[in-house]
Structure 1
Amino acid sequence: MSQPYGQQPPGEYNQGQPGYGAMPPAPPEYTAGPVGRPGGVTAAAVLAFVQAGITLICTIFALIIFGALSSAVGESESKYGITIDKGLLAVGWIVAIVGLIGAGLLIWAGIRTLSGTAGQLMVIAAGLQIVLCIVWLAALGGGLIAILLIVMPIISLSLVLTGAAKQYEASKRGQLA
């Protein structure tokens, strides 16, 4: 016997819908994921790129000058009334070659800093540039350019050593600082 639509047969009571059980637990908070790149890290990388570019320009200019002086002087210590200290010229060549290496390290450190995997590379590259600028000032009389160039690695070094930069790097390694 069928019941008309919407009516319940006699004797059957509405017991409600079957239970769905307890509410599932909330998902854990997401705190161990990658941290967004802080502005200081980006600024440190940009300063590294700028420092590398200026270092390359100055180093190429110095290499051209040192090459011209070396070929002009040859075996004698003076040419056209200009006395050249060969020891100082040798120091200039060494500093120029270290400048090329330092510029390459800065570019590599800047790229790795942006990706969050620089580690101690930026510290080494910036430290090398600081030492290079001090040598330019002390031995070769680098003047205003060396004074201006020493500022950028100091700033980038201080930006990379902040807590936010270290946390960003640690999050990229899968660790929480």
Structure 2
Amino acid sequence: MTQPYGQEPGQQGGGYPQGGYPQTPGQGQPAQGYPQSPPYGQPAQGYPQSPAYGQPQGYPQTPAQGYPQASPYGSMPAAPPEYSSGPIPRPGTITAAAVLGYVQAGITLIPTILMLIGVAQGTSNGGDVALGWLIVVAQLVGAALLIAGGVQIMGGKGRALLIAGAAVELAVCVYWIIQAAAVESEGIDADLVDAGKGVIIGIAIFFAIMPTISLVMALGSNTTQFLQSRRGH
């Protein structure tokens, strides 16, 4: 059998190897230099994987708008009454402090009026008269401050006047205790003098009890909270 012209033995198809024409890229074999496409469901090599559907990586998660987040430390304690939005009811300690101030002012005015009469008549010498007038004025000022301070603190406007009045009353009581303790018998029966001194000191201590209680109540925390809640109202 004769071979076609120009065709060597073992060759078919006009000079091409047996089996047909050479395959071009894209026909049966992948083209060299191009990455093969991966099977379905597997990530392609050389390309970064996209994250799963959800929150992008590298960014903090933001809470949903309109919904408050719960505190990790639990519920916060309620604010104290002094920082509340409105005034609080008047505590009983304020009423008691004001009433004690009124009573103290009333019982102080009785001996003050008697002393005023004695000083006005001038039954003592010059130095004692001046000192007597000073005590009378101090007791009158203290009584007036107690009355005004009781009205002020009852209305929630302040406590300065009540504190000042109680301080004046205590100062006068201390003066009377010192004066009574310094009295000497001077030829009078010592027992009688001592008894008189004890009476004066006892009265002074009695007069000091109510202003002391009133002062403590006026400086208490309940009074502070009440006055702070009344500011601006």
User: Shared topology, TM-score over 0.5?
Assistant: yes
1:86 is aligned to 126
Answer 1 or 2: higher relative contact order, Cα 8 Å, separation at least 6. 1
Structure whose alpha-carbon radius of gyration is higher: 2
How high is the TM-score relative to the length of structure 2? Answer: 0.53
2:111 is aligned to 58
Aligned-residue RMSD, C-alpha: 2.3
Number of aligned pairs?
135
Describe how 1:7-156 pairs up with structure 2 within 5 A: 31-68=84-121, 70=122, 73=123, 84-139=124-179, 142-156=200-214
Q: Residues of 1 paired with 2:222 and 2:232: CA distance?
A: 15
Give the percent of matched residue pairs that are identical in Structure 1 and Structure 2.
39
2:228 is aligned to 170
Q: After the TM superposition, which parts of structure 1 deviate over 3 Å for at least 4 consecutive aligned residues?
A: none
The CA deviation at 1:106 is: 0.7
Structure 1 alignment gaps of length 5 or more: 1-28, 74-83
Structure with the higher helix share, 1 or 2: 1
Q: Deviations over 1:93-131 (max 9, x none)?
A: 210111111111110001001111123222111111111
Structure 2 residue identity aligned to 1:62: M
Instruction: Tell me if the contact between 1:33 and 1:174 (Cα under 8 Å) persists in the aligned partners.
Output: no
1:161 counterpart = 2:219: yes
Structure 2 residue identity aligned to 1:126: A
Q: Deviations over 1:59-105 (max 9, x none)?
A: 0011112223x0xx4xxxxxxxxxx4532332122101111111111
Instruction: Tell me if the contact between 2:105 and 2:142 (Cα under 8 Å) persists in the aligned partners.
Output: yes
How high is the TM-score relative to the length of structure 1? Answer: 0.69
Structure 1 residue identity aligned to 2:113: I
Q: Residues of 1 paired with 2:156 and 2:117: CA distance?
A: 37
Q: Residues of 1 paired with 2:158 and 2:136: CA distance?
A: 25
